[in-house]
A and B are shown apart, each in its own frame.
Chain A
């Protein structure tokens, strides 16, 4: 039996300052780890000395990715902007409030100053808070590789498990969040006051209401940071309805929603399924009736 110091192998770290440089490096080293804030990566490393076993490309010094700009109909956020920065920048006051609340709900202030928007979206094994929120806001992603750029709605990057899939050599460069599309938002996370829980739940919605008519409604759930649920058909069915909804309409929608969600997550405990259903009911019966934000 021999003891070797093999797991002390060190990783090579690249720190490009331009996007083109970063993309070139990624093309040359397709297996390299793209490192943005790294909070998720490091907090899941069990050893004192993190083990990566592959090359690292840090995006922290790429200035193009740290830009946040406001345009007439949208706000553009660079993927390496930290979550803390989003809350601090003056452009952030034009962002839909639901996004800011989602950012505030992530981790602690110290963690938010390291974690980045792009990192939050691109974490591969889990689904963090921002993805469902950006999804319901109909946001766009700009994804670039050395020789191509894709600029598409965020939902077009999702696979059947609602995970963002990028091609080899691609990185998320910008997120474009439309503004002024909705006038009623809701955001809710659990736990509220219960002290310890691994049980995680988030719901968010964005609605455009014209007087009392629902012109557009988007809603999504994040369950345990593993599943994102969005029922497009229900959203479509609700468009054009007048609030408050009639009891018969509510019953009908609840029934439809239940049949749609029933088979979605076979491994989910009953109480979590019930909770999704109850939140949806709460949204229909109470939340939709609130007054819209006057622009």
Chain B
């Protein structure tokens, strides 16, 4: 399929076909228990079918990363909202009527107040332990500070609900789906229907690039819809309702963190201990990736002679969580950066000074693998831009004086955070391999085939420009298409859709090799080159990791109107070293959106349950968005790094630190709300 010609099918919700059936789920109303009986009325309207787990027989599951996840609950229900039945009907009205008329009886049932009320761990799914010691015995010394932090779930905004359309013809099955992992969808559909590869055609819908929060869940929809389509020999449209989508689709997993550290007079760490747990919901196939990514952050970002890391992933009674920008790093950086700010406050030093003393400067390299200590530059620039040190000291002074002074009407706070985004950290191998194939028959044109869906129109142009610049041709002559046919080695989900780095570098590698081959083989003969992400890492895996880290720092300024308990985010300033920026407008846009979504994550006012009762995920209008300034500190030319995720790591900690300073309280948990600000103030009195 050619990307350029706009060959994308429409949004799934737009597709309609004569004679198609509408499909929908009947979901469990209880949190945990066993299904005793399902009462289906006998006289169902004409054309209505109901599928149970038994109908799928031995194929009632999808396999993701070796984990089997049931499609329909067979006997046991593990979370509220788990699909129990799939119903297909000729009209939406029939679907609704049938759904209301079916009763499910449970035994040994447990009913929690809300879908998300029990996020506590059930079983440990994965655990990692790491210890590093310089020979001293840190256990003997008391930690300077110990603290715990909590992060909530995070929902992902996208306008079109998740869905799949299966076009059934006896010759083949066409699957139009909003998914970033079409290859997995295809594998799943092949397995469930038993059809050979050439009879299954998967087409990602227009909304696919926005689905990086739901990597494997679309495969469940595809599996069930294709099963029903083949069984009934009809085209099927299965689109989640807005409410279903908000309640039961994948979210960012909540995390619980304990950090303690000992610090010396020189402000350097003596010891650093991390202990964290992520709550993954009922099923989560990527526990290892999740925990190891957070552990990677713990291991390399700050330096300490004695370091202990204990990380685990637990299941919980909530709906399954999924991948989300940054996977587990934003939660980790929230805790760590809040901790650093608290430590700076306790030691009465500037947060910048404390960070500069402890950042793992050896970790950050430039493209030639030379040590390049980027953070002093970033922090100095950010300080100049925002006047952080002066403001911080002034607000600290006011904070300390406040208790005795007459209450002022507006109080200010400023917060700082630092973070990195390690692009494709554990994700560019095996199942997550990215592949680029480049072929040409003459010296003027070239065709690139990728297995990932570009995150945006600009990503596509960036890819083309990269190839064109290396080959010395016009970008207009570069054709881009994507393929996930059986023979393609490509199989990775477009996990890093916001991250153009991996694919872009593979394109550049391909182009360089093609240029070389043109010189040796002749200019106008047929040449094909293929590169996978293992090619990037083969030479030096460590080098690849270090050089690809995007570094950044952020300052958030807030004011709290004490008279009205109103929190106002005055300004958000980010400085980011993401290497060469191809298109500043696009880069800005990506970061701005991540900033807004991370503010949403950190400032949810009401409980999540209240929010979703409206069956509307609220995205702020333009009038509610604070001033956001983004500074690009481009270190090297011709070398791009990812930018999609770093704002999620930076903003919450800086924001909550700023609020904490304003209201003179150590905040530990997200989200913060007007009511919480007031209650904290009251408790203080």
A: which residues have CB within 8 A of B?
A: 1-3, 5, 8, 46, 48-49, 108, 190-199, 201, 269-271, 274-275, 278-279, 281-282
Contact of B567 among A8, A46, A194 (CB under 8 A): A194
Contact of A281 among B42, B563, B618 (CB under 8 A): B563
B: which residues have CB within 8 A of A?
A: 39, 41-45, 92-93, 97-98, 101, 409, 562-569, 596, 599-600, 603-606, 610-611, 615, 618, 620-621, 624-626, 673-675, 678-679, 682
Known: A3-B43, A48-B92, A199-B605. A194 touches B568 (CB 8 A): yes
Known: A48-B92, A193-B626. A199 touches B675 (CB 8 A): yes
Measured CA separation A279–B561 after assembly (Å): 11
Contacts A278-B563, A282-B563 aside, 19 further interface pairs with beta carbons under 8 A come to A1-B39, A1-B101, A3-B97, A3-B98, A48-B92, A194-B624, A195-B596, A195-B625, A196-B603, A198-B606, A198-B610, A199-B605, A199-B606, A201-B564, A269-B675, A271-B679, A275-B564, A278-B562, A282-B409
Which A residues are CB-close (under 8 A) to B562?
278
* Smallest CB separation, B238 vs chain A (Å): 16
Which A residues are CB-close (under 8 A) to B618?
196
Which B residues are CB-close (under 8 A) to A282?
409, 563-564
Q: Are B565 and A271 in contact (CB under 8 A)?
A: yes
Measured CA separation A192–B97 after assembly (Å): 43
Q: Are B101 and A274 in contact (CB under 8 A)?
A: no
When C-beta atoms are compared, the residue in chain A nearest to B621 turns out to be A108
Measured CA separation A194–B676 after assembly (Å): 13
Measured CA separation A198–B614 after assembly (Å): 11
Contact of B678 among A3, A274, A281 (CB under 8 A): A274
12 contacts between A and B (CB under 8 A): A190-B566, A190-B674, A193-B626, A194-B603, A194-B605, A196-B600, A196-B603, A199-B675, A270-B678, A278-B562, A281-B563, A282-B564
Contact of B620 among A5, A108, A196, A269 (CB under 8 A): A196
3 closest residue pairs by CB, A with B? A271-B678, A278-B563, A1-B41
Measured CA separation A275–B560 after assembly (Å): 13
When C-beta atoms are compared, the residue in chain A nearest to B97 turns out to be A3
Known: A193-B568, A193-B569, A282-B563. A198 touches B605 (CB 8 A): yes
Contact of B563 among A1, A3, A5, A279 (CB under 8 A): A279
Contact of B564 among A5, A193, A278 (CB under 8 A): A278
When C-beta atoms are compared, the residue in chain B nearest to A279 turns out to be B564
Which A residues are CB-close (under 8 A) to B624?
191, 193-195
When C-beta atoms are compared, the residue in chain A nearest to B596 turns out to be A195
Which A residues are CB-close (under 8 A) to B45?
3
Known: A2-B43, A3-B45, A195-B603. A270 touches B682 (CB 8 A): yes
When C-beta atoms are compared, the residue in chain A nearest to B617 turns out to be A196
Measured CA separation A60–B274 after assembly (Å): 65
Measured CA separation A270–B679 after assembly (Å): 9
Measured CA separation A268–B472 after assembly (Å): 69
When C-beta atoms are compared, the residue in chain A nearest to B613 turns out to be A198
When C-beta atoms are compared, the residue in chain A nearest to B39 turns out to be A1
Which A residues are CB-close (under 8 A) to B39?
1
Measured CA separation A47–B144 after assembly (Å): 57
Known: A194-B674, A195-B624, A274-B678. A5 touches B93 (CB 8 A): yes
* Smallest CB separation, B300 vs chain A (Å): 33
Measured CA separation A8–B96 after assembly (Å): 12
Contact of A190 among B564, B621, B625, B679 (CB under 8 A): B564
* Smallest CB separation, B500 vs chain A (Å): 28
* Smallest CB separation, A10 vs chain B (Å): 13
Measured CA separation A218–B333 after assembly (Å): 50
Measured CA separation A275–B564 after assembly (Å): 5
* Smallest CB separation, A87 vs chain B (Å): 16
* Smallest CB separation, B673 vs chain A (Å): 8
Measured CA separation A274–B678 after assembly (Å): 9
* Smallest CB separation, A15 vs chain B (Å): 26
Which B residues are CB-close (under 8 A) to A3?
41, 43-45, 97-98, 101
Measured CA separation A196–B602 after assembly (Å): 10
Q: Are B97 and A5 in contact (CB under 8 A)?
A: yes
Which B residues are CB-close (under 8 A) to A5?
93, 97
When C-beta atoms are compared, the residue in chain A nearest to B44 turns out to be A3
Measured CA separation A5–B93 after assembly (Å): 8
Known: A2-B43, A5-B93. A274 touches B599 (CB 8 A): no
Among B39, B98, B606, chain A packs the most CB atoms within 10 A around the CB of B606
Contact of B599 among A1, A8, A49, A195 (CB under 8 A): A195
Which B residues are CB-close (under 8 A) to A281?
563
Which A residues are CB-close (under 8 A) to B101?
1, 3
Measured CA separation A110–B385 after assembly (Å): 39
* Smallest CB separation, B592 vs chain A (Å): 13
Measured CA separation A275–B567 after assembly (Å): 13
Which A residues are CB-close (under 8 A) to B610?
198
* Smallest CB separation, A53 vs chain B (Å): 16
When C-beta atoms are compared, the residue in chain B nearest to A4 turns out to be B97
Measured CA separation A2–B97 after assembly (Å): 10
Measured CA separation A281–B626 after assembly (Å): 27
When C-beta atoms are compared, the residue in chain B nearest to A276 turns out to be B564
* Smallest CB separation, B76 vs chain A (Å): 26
Measured CA separation A192–B409 after assembly (Å): 15
* Smallest CB separation, B572 vs chain A (Å): 11
When C-beta atoms are compared, the residue in chain B nearest to A49 turns out to be B93
Among A197, A198, A279, chain B packs the most CB atoms within 10 A around the CB of A197
Q: Are B568 and A192 in contact (CB under 8 A)?
A: yes
Measured CA separation A190–B566 after assembly (Å): 8
